Structure 1
Amino acid sequence: MAFHHAQQVEALNERLSSLKDINVSFEFFPPNSPAMEETLWGSIERLAPLKPKFVSVTYGANSGVRDRTHKVIERIHAETELQAAPHLTLVDASNDELRELARQYWAQGVRHIVALRGDVPAGQPNPNRYAADLVKLLKEEHDFEISVAAYPEVHPEATSAQSDLVNLKRKVDAGANRAISQFFFDIDAYLRYRDRCAAAGIDVEIVPGILPVTNYQQLLKFSDFAKIRVPNWLHHMFDGLDDDPATRKLVGANVAIEMAKVLAKEGVNDFHFYTLNRAEMSYAICHALGVRPGV
């Protein structure tokens, strides 16, 4: 039995070593302090030699965060060879404002946008506008490359898994080029979702979003907010490590690398990393996938 397991591990690692055409992308968020700004640019510098397909920068509903997003995008374009993809949301912006912003981005050389509805602020009514409307608006302005969000474990506000799938199809039919999944730990849930997307005629890549875990308590908050299942085995892996960040990092890297290996075995060629502005974990996973500087 042990020999059979060893053969499986060797076969998986052998396959990984021969993988070609793996594409990666990274998500960052705009810094809110000089120290975080230093961390962000250090991470961008570390990850840039991996030649990601693009790097995305998140976007908040208030104007202060929006301005910081624009500044990060501008600096990435000015100082690196990376393709920077700003997040853009419908929340707190009229169609005219969005059109103006799209024109500004295009004039700055931005060709890729991550189009999202955005979180509706507490106490405000649903704006009755959706990400598919934003995709359509952007495509009417210019031929942007557009990424949208996908939810293997169903969007928290969706009435059903089927309605959530219909909504993704609307985004793709409006012109989205790819869907990036919310982070997950249940690989089977992602694979089933990918199959259901294909059966529904959604013919774009469903790129798995990978969140390398360093702060487990923070992960639990993220997961609770997004209604993502945290499996018991993950609780067990991080149990007793609240005051041991060095071991947490090693465990988190191992979990993410194993996930990436299994996904690669299942034919996944594109990976999107939620970096939380830190490079080490994402760099290590890319290394394991054979994504390396100069390769």
Structure 2
Amino acid sequence: MTTLPISFEFFPPKTAEGVDKLMEQHAILAACQPEFFSITYGAGGTTRDLTQKLVLDINAKGIPAVPHLSCIGDTHESLQALLTTYKNAGIDKIVTLRGDLPKDIDDVANEFHYANELVTFIRQHHGDTFTLVVAAYPEVHPEAKNAQQDLINFKRKVEAGASAAITQYFYNADAYEDFVNRCRQQGITIPIYPGIMPITNHERLARFSRMCGAEIPRWIEKRLLDYQNEPASLQAFGLEVVTKLCQKLITLEAPGFHFYSLNQATPTLNILQNLRF
């Protein structure tokens, strides 16, 4: 039986019905005793209030909730107020991000530009109150000039005070192994948790991957296209692919797994059952 730490990511629904459905999924996944549930934060802070409410509601149920916090579109004052709210609620961990750029970037606050600045800001104002988790990109951030520059940017976040990292999802374990090795060569010793994305829908996965720069290996892409009219076969194939990926990551001594649940319990549960968690 595997006993590595696991965590799950949710995004805040926009309707009361959506929240009710999410809480049903939360109850199912909570039985897995994850380390935490993380809650995303929309581009430019567009889900600020929804994220905050969901974080506080989930945290009150016993298993820690961890808010995502991005700096693009927020001011020093608004972030300080939000951090104080979380601190007073007993939240002690934050996923600290630059955040996606809104379409109308000229119309949003621009007091921060990069995630390392947000990490520095939180450390300056709150010391070690929060464990700060940052993003990592084994296949290179889509806006980075090159892999070396991306590693330098990641190191800046670590030197600013990051405690751990969660990666963008990927389907090539070699990319994760190479990234971790390069980090260790740079003296970066924080745990780097692989982000795991279940495969249940080809069109949605392709769209996400185009947006975030994650690569779908060609052989996987071709197999998914074979199953585009056979959802059960596609899901079975996706489960096999992600299970084998996680098994490989275990041999690489990954410190744990962070699952991008897409607010659905079953796909992640199936992976965990295959891994005998």
Task: Give the shorter-chain TM-score range.
Answer: over 0.9
- Give the match for residue 90 of structure 2: 109
What is the identity, as a one-letter code, of the residue corresponding to 1:262?
K
What SS does structure 2 have at the residue aligned with 1:185? Answer: coil
- Give the match for residue 33 of structure 1: 15
Find out whether 1:273 has 2:254 as its counterpart: no
1:96-175 paired onto structure 2 within 5 Å = 96-122=77-103, 124=105, 127=110, 129-142=113-126, 143-175=129-161
Flag the 1:89–1:26 CA change in 2: closer, same or farther, 3 A.
same
What is the identity, as a one-letter code, of the residue corresponding to 2:215?
R
Give the conservation status (yes or no) of the 8 Å contact 1:102–1:141.
no
- Give the match for residue 44 of structure 1: 26
Q: Which runs of 4+ in 1 moved over 4 A?
A: 125-128
Greater mean alpha carbon deviation, residues 119-128 or residues 162-171: 119-128
State the percentage of identical aligned residues: 38
Paired with 1:36 and 1:245, the residues of 2 have a C-alpha distance of 23
Paired with 2:102 and 2:59, the residues of 1 have a C-alpha distance of 31
1:240 to 219, 226, 250: 226
Give the conservation status (yes or no) of the 8 Å contact 1:23–1:52.
yes
Alignment gaps of 5+ in structure 2: none
What SS does structure 2 have at the residue aligned with 1:148? Answer: strand
2:63 to 82, 90, 94: 82
TM-score between the two structures when normalised by the length of structure 2: 0.92
Greater mean alpha carbon deviation, residues 105-114 or residues 60-69: 60-69
- Give the match for residue 12 of structure 1: none
TM-score between the two structures when normalised by the length of structure 1: 0.87
Deviation of 1:290 after TM superposition, in Å, equals 3.1
What SS does structure 2 have at the residue aligned with 1:72? Answer: helix
- Figure out how many residues of one structure are paired with residues of the other and give that number: 272
1:50-89 paired onto structure 2 within 5 Å = 50-61=32-43, 65-78=47-60, 80-89=61-70
- Give the match for residue 180 of structure 2: 194
Deviation of 1:179 after TM superposition, in Å, equals 0.7
Give the conservation status (yes or no) of the 8 Å contact 1:57–1:87.
yes
User: Which structure would you say has the larger Rg?
Assistant: 1
Give the conservation status (yes or no) of the 8 Å contact 1:132–1:174.
yes
Flag the 1:159–1:37 CA change in 2: closer, same or farther, 3 A.
same
Paired with 1:22 and 1:145, the residues of 2 have a C-alpha distance of 19
Deviation of 1:22 after TM superposition, in Å, equals 0.4
Alignment gaps of 5+ in structure 1: 1-16
Paired with 2:150 and 2:139, the residues of 1 have a C-alpha distance of 10
Deviation of 1:233 after TM superposition, in Å, equals 1.4
Flag the 1:89–1:64 CA change in 2: closer, same or farther, 3 A.
closer
Find out whether 1:231 has 2:217 as its counterpart: yes
Paired with 1:97 and 1:65, the residues of 2 have a C-alpha distance of 14
Deviation of 1:269 after TM superposition, in Å, equals 3.1
Flag the 1:42–1:248 CA change in 2: closer, same or farther, 3 A.
farther
What is the identity, as a one-letter code, of the residue corresponding to 2:88?
A
What is the identity, as a one-letter code, of the residue corresponding to 2:148?
Q
Greater mean alpha carbon deviation, residues 193-202 or residues 119-128: 119-128
Give the conservation status (yes or no) of the 8 Å contact 2:9–2:37.
yes
- Give the match for residue 13 of structure 1: none
What SS does structure 2 have at the residue aligned with 1:183? Answer: coil
Give the conservation status (yes or no) of the 8 Å contact 2:6–2:259.
yes
- Give the match for residue 10 of structure 1: none
